[in-house]
Structure 1
């Protein structure tokens, strides 16, 4: 069994002094370091959250701008397509007019050539008829 004597008081005093010294030398500085680290971690987490919200905002703005750019590109493409269709129709109408005038000119030319050929044939018919009649009647 343990017999208490006067050394127990010395041991108790020694224990209290060691707790005080350990508190001053080790525990208090460690608590301060832990408190600083906790504050640093809180600041870094706030910075990270701010960065994330900023990044999300930038991504949302980028997507909105991309959507707007796609919309504008579609409008430009449709406008160009409509303009191309209008130019195509104008070109086709012009080509149709040119073809129509060309056909009219060619028909007029053909009719004049037919008329000239008919006049020539009519003149030649009389000559051929006289020659044929002369041959039939025996005139040379």
Structure 2
């Protein structure tokens, strides 16, 4: 039969092994685990920051797009207001010109009527003189004016 005996060398090796594991744990494994945890926390923090910045960027993009839409609406409203003002100004100018033309036409008609009346009066006088001259020539004697 085989018998197992524990000698001092085995105990020393066991103590040596446990001591080595303890020292490695303190000097190597624990710092590596802490570095890995620290790196994981940093990665998570960076991912959270990226998500936050991405959300902010999306919000700013939406605000920018809304501002662009608002600016377009304002531009169209101003354009429409300017068009209406120009149309109103055009109507006003046309009405003014039409009024001035009507006024000038009335003046011209009045002047023509006045000139026609004056011409009629002159012609009446000339017709009287001309008729008198013709009558004198036909009769061969002067007509008495009276």
Aligned residues: 134
Which stretch shifts more, 16-25 or 59-68? Answer: 16-25
Distance 2:12 2:53 in 1: 57
Shift of 1:122: 3.8
RMSD of equivalent CA atoms: 3.2
Which residue number corresponds to residue 28 of structure 1? Answer: 30
Distance 1:28 1:118 in 2: 131
Which residue number corresponds to residue 96 of structure 1? Answer: 98
Distance 1:97 1:18 in 2: 114
Q: TM-score, normalised by structure 2?
A: 0.71
Shift of 1:47: 1.2
Tell me the alpha carbon deviations over residues 24-74 of structure 1, each in whole angstroms, 9 at most, x when there is no partner: 211210110111111011112101111110111121022112212211221
Q: TM-score, normalised by structure 1?
A: 0.74
Distance 1:72 1:109 in 2: 54
Unaligned runs of 5+ in 1: 1-5
Unaligned runs of 5+ in 2: 1-6, 141-146
Which residue number corresponds to residue 20 of structure 2? Answer: 18
Distance 1:36 1:119 in 2: 121
Tell me the alpha carbon deviations over residues 73-126 of structure 1, each in whole angstroms, 9 at most, x when there is no partner: 212221221122122112211211110111011111022113223332443455
Distance 1:40 1:135 in 2: 136
Which residue number corresponds to residue 3 of structure 1? Answer: none
